[in-house]
Amino acid sequence: MKRILVAGAAGFTGEAVCDLLSENYEVVGIDLNPMPHLKESVEADLADFDPVNDVMTGVDGVVNCLMAPNETYERPELPVKWNVQGLANLLDAARLHDVKRFVHTSTTGIFTISRPEVVNAESYPISQGWYPITKMLQERLCLNFSEAYGMQIAVMRIAGGIVCGRTQMLKGEEPMSKEKFHVGWICRYDIADACRRALEYPDISYEIFHIGSTSEVMAVNDVQSLMDRLDWKPVYDFHEYR
């Protein structure tokens, strides 16, 4: 595996995924927004199939970090367009180019109704609201493409709020502090490392993993499966901010 496509590469998590993968791979990004951190990128709408199909040429693996902006979820049109149609285009282009390994970032936020005491790969989500509904639909798309076309797909459910442990910053370049500490913090580079390991692991069909960094998150999400299966552990637990 030499060349990796990162979708949503301009985003907070996508940027960290690109940074980490660039240490060992050729990385190409695709996003609506500029990606100055990458040598090679395509500015395009992932809901448009043609540029997605074009950029898939020569790709060995895909990491999808695409997410519709937070302000778009009041109505279904835009989140369905970007989250669902965008992912459908990525999966279909990957299928057409015989790209077998696909890593998709999801969320435990899909469990908005009847959340089990511990969320694991077998937990059945029921969602309210267009953000969790579209994220749940993304997982169903991934499962279908894995079972119908033999694609090797790892779904990485993020269990918490994404921050940057390397820079000790929250989103929006706001410094971390004890006053702002939250038990759900998860570093974007720990997410990136989990995605890298899912790309490289030799034996994946369709699997769901849960990413979390604090003991509180691990108590209610099956993060241990990720740690055991992919030999992952968080670098940042933010204990110093408690």
Give the count of beta carbons closer than 10 Å to the beta carbon of residue 2: 10
Where does residue 198 rank: exposed (0-12), middle (13-18), buried (19+ CB within 10 A)?
buried
Contact 198, 140 (CB under 8 A): no
Nearest in space to 107 (alpha carbons), one of 31, 189, 221: 221
What's at 37, amino acid-wise?
A: H
What's residue 172's pLDDT?
81
Q: What is the pLDDT of residues 117-172, one digit of tens each?
A: 999 999 999 999 999 999 999 999 999 999 999 999 999 999 999 999 999 999 88
Contact 198, 204 (CB under 8 A): yes
Three-state secondary structure call for residue 24: coil
Residues 6+ apart with CB under 8 A from 97: 53, 56, 57, 59
pTM higher than 0.85: yes
Contact 94, 7 (CB under 8 A): no
What's residue 114's pLDDT?
85
Residues 6+ apart with CB under 8 A from 100: 150, 151, 152
Nearest in space to 217 (alpha carbons), one of 186, 242, 189: 186
Three-state secondary structure call for residue 193: helix
What's residue 171's pLDDT?
87
**Residue stretches of the chain with pLDDT short of 50:** none
What's residue 110's pLDDT?
97
Nearest in space to 148 (alpha carbons), one of 101, 204, 206: 206
Question: CA 34 to CA 208: how far, in whole Å?
Answer: 30
* Ramachandran region, residue 59 (left: φ > 0; alpha: ψ -120 to 50; beta: rest): beta
**Strand pairing report for 174-175 and 169-170:** antiparallel
Q: What is the fold, at CATH topology level, of the domain defined by 3-159+188-233?
A: Rossmann fold (3.40.50)
Delimit the domains of the chain by residue range: 3-159+188-233
Mean pLDDT of the chain: 96
What's residue 13's pLDDT?
97
State both tokens at 62.
């895909």
